Structure 1
Amino acid sequence: MTRKRIQIKKIDNISSRQVTFSKRRKGLFKKAQELSTLCDADIALIVFSATSKLFEYASSSMHQVIERHDRYSAIHRLDRPSIELQIESDSNNILRKKVEDKTRELRQMNGEDLQGLTLQELQKLEEHLKRSLTNVSKVKDAKFMQEISTFKRKD
């Protein structure tokens, strides 16, 4: 009997998502180790979980593989015009800034890093969380009603 194909999309259930992450991470690391052994390849694999935990695998030294990547990238960047490099650098800086902003925003929504906020920013955050909680409650209530009607139909 073969396994069923699953649709590749975000898993909604948090515990199922964590179990899947753990199993697939182990499988990914195993494949990386097999590829390294079979093909004598230098492999460095870095994974951050949704909870920001770091998982890494390196066939030799992570530091050496990253240095090798940096040297390779530097050599190949010399072949490209400097305007392209500037645009790429600017894009990377913009993306890095956006990621930092969104990370800070997420941490604040989780109740962390609140010390630097003004009273007005805290009030905006509180309102946002209240709206979010209201939306979650509405969806939860709708699911309860759906389950109740399902149970009634079964009876």
Structure 2
Amino acid sequence: MGRGKVELKRIENPTNRQVTFSKRRNGLLKKAFELSVLCDAEVALIVFSPSGKAYQFSSHEITRTITRYKIELGIAKADDQGFTSMEVWRNEIEDLSRTIEALEARERNFAGENLSGLGMKELKQLERQLRVGVERIRSKKHKDLQEENTNLQKKLHELEEASTSSIILGSDSARLFQRIE
């Protein structure tokens, strides 16, 4: 059975308010983490408790995300701009380097190298991906062979027609030479 709709107003009881804050804060942090993982989003979350304590989650370096946010809004200081954009680019390069390393590791796995570090789930996924790849290759190969076969049959038919017409022309010219003599 589902919960009833919660009326959104300030909770007067301080104990209940603190418990609700803790539970909802944890849920919010969990959702931020899930969003960053599932959607590969850059997420930064800062929550201040009523007592002033700060809680944060960041999928990347939080200062980078805040700097990026400031640049997006155009509120980065003019003297900060060079350092800020350099920091953002440095972080972007680091992220791209990690992505390249991951893709190269995946490529080595596809080639059958470095499989010892993979678990059963990763091996099954790799096997499935290879199976799909092989089926695509076979399908493309079959299609190309059919096209080549069709083209060769057309050429054979054209050669047969040309051969037949040259035989007919050859016999007609031989008759002409016999009449002339």
TM-score, length of structure 2 as denominator length: 0.41
TM-score, length of structure 1 as denominator length: 0.48
Q: Which has the larger radius of gyration?
A: 2
